[in-house]
Amino acid sequence: MLRRLGFLTIGLFDEADPRRGHESTLEIIELGERLGFDSAWLRHRHLQFGISSPVAVLAAATQRTSRIELGTAVIPLGWENPLRLAEDLATVDLLSGGRLHPGISVGPPMHYERVKDALYPDTASAEDFSYARVERLLACVRGEPVTGFRGSEGFEEFSDRVQPHSPGLASRLWYGGGSLRSARWAAEHGMNFLTSSVVKAEESEDFATIQLSHVRAFRELHPAGRISQGLVVIPTDSATAAQKARYLAYAEKRTPRTLTPQGPARMMFAPDIVGSSEEIAERLSAHVAFQEIDEVAFALPFTFDHDDYVQILTDMATTLGPALGWKPAAA
């Protein structure tokens, strides 16, 4: 039985009119709340035409919604200063009334050789992109001291920990990972775990089997932690013929990469699931990882139009979700 239903969007925009794309994302989040979704998540894109500052966008969303959980999936910490990010996260969490669910990941920034001189002109070779960067963020969010001074200096008061401090935010931090090591690390550090449509082919080349091993590894070490599964799921119950054709063409174009491990890291991609809610529910019921999941954040396709997202979200909330045993959240 599916207990919590969420969605994830990249927030694409036209370079010539970026405001309209950001407004579209905010409208989609508002719609999600009206439809009873439990959570809305934003992806993160740098130097592309997708949301580069999800925390800022979610700050706006806090003022347009009152109930839905607001998350990031995920913020790549290689682009961030953990202390500064902790300040932003705490601020937005307070504005939301405790609804923020930051998802993060580590590793060098994408295309690091191209951007390092602009991002870290003086420290590029010294930056640490390991799990230690997450530990720095965790310490800041948890309110641990970041300086040895606390007190007055003239007319000003200083704190030895990040301000504002938002109690409870640390328990709502998520780690986005695609490997057994990531699942175990997140569990050992008391984080929640985001498992997406991309995993590393370590012990198998069957996507669902790999993902199931991550779910079980996490739960073995952190049974109280939350796990959210993110697959690309496109219900077509109320779609027009043109929309259905476009959705199927989108999925077909992406199918070849799902057949074998990709690249030196041997990454496996889950196939997109397109069809009626009944067909999707049947396929998910046979997915061995989904069978042990009670929380999802279905990913919206990257390149669709606003009206497509409205149709997809509406079908998810009114038809697919109930078919999976989910009930909309109360207004």
4-323 falls under which CATH superfamily? Luciferase-like domain (3.20.20.30)
Domain ranges for the chain = 4-323
> What secondary structure does DSSP assign to 252-297, as a single string?
HHHGGGGSS-BTTTTEEEPPPEEE-HHHHHHHHHT-TTGGG-SEEE
- What confidence tens digit (pLDDT) does each residue in 156-193 have? 999 999 999 999 999 999 999 999 999 999 999 999 99
Report how far Cα 219 is from the mean position of its chain's Cα atoms. 19
Q: Whole-model pTM above 0.85?
A: yes
Predicted local distance difference test score (pLDDT) of residue 72:
98
Whole-angstrom distance, CA of residue 229 vs CA of residue 6: 10
| CA atoms of 287 and 284, how far apart (whole Å) | 5
283-318 pLDDT, tens digit each = 999 999 999 999 999 999 989 999 999 999 999 999
Tell whether the model's pLDDT for residue 330 goes beyond 90. no
| Run of H or E including 100 | strand 100-105
Judge if the upstream peptide bond of residue 106 is cis by omega within 30 degrees of 0. Answer: no
User: Mean pLDDT of all residues in the chain?
Assistant: 97
Whole-number pLDDT of residue 173:
98
